[in-house]
Structures are given as structure tokens and as C-alpha cells.
Amino acid sequence: MALRTVTHSRGNLQCISLHLREVPYSRGIDTTDPVEVKRMLGDDVYNQWLEIDQLLVQVWESHSIRPNVTCHAPPLDNWCSLADSLLPELTKKGAIGLVE
């Protein structure tokens, strides 16, 4: 909800950080496949992530703020690829800082 309040007139926003954590039911999910991610999270939650993606793209384009996404999971689980499925437009534009 807070991201929706960001406008051109609010110039004091300096940083956006997202922290992705592994959830127990994510084991064995292909996090690079948006269909599997959508099935894992459910339609409502997945669509909320896509809305966040659009809002973050707008913030990046209007304020030049590149969101940082930190992934907290075992490296072999390929968990950080989840950012590509949850934030596809931001990732496609190269407007995301990914930290494993």
C-alpha cells in the first residue's frame, strides 16, 4: 500500500528493499516457471506481486530508484530465480538489484 502513495511530488524516497525468504511448501518448485509459482502462491497473491512489479517499475522510472531484492535461501534451491517470476517487468528492464 505504501508504494501507491509515492508520487512525483514526494522526492524523499531513497531506497526500496525486498527480502524473499524460502517457504516450506516451495521445495521442489521450479521458481523459474511463472505457472508453477502462480500455482504455489495462488492467483490472488501472485496477482498482487504483479501489481507490486508494475508499481516498482513506475517508481524506478519516475524516481530512478532501483529496488534491491535480497534472497534468503540455500543456494542450491535456485530460490533467487523467484524474483524473475514475481517481478517480471522490473527484471526485464534490468531495474532490479539482486543480492543472494
In tens, the pLDDT along 30-55 reads 878 889 889 888 999 899 989 989 98
Q: Is the model more confident about 34 or about 1?
A: 34
| Residue 76 pLDDT greater than 50, yes or no | no
Domain positions in the chain are 32-100
What does the DSSP assignment read for the chain? -GGGG--TT-TT----EEEEE--GGGTT--TT-HHHHHHHH-HHHHHHHHHHHHHHHHHHHHH----EEEEES-GGGTGGGHHHHHSHHHHHTT--EEE-
Whole-prediction pTM:
0.76
Mean pLDDT (the chain) is 77
| Residue 92 pLDDT greater than 80, yes or no | yes
The grid coordinates of residue 63 equal 524516481
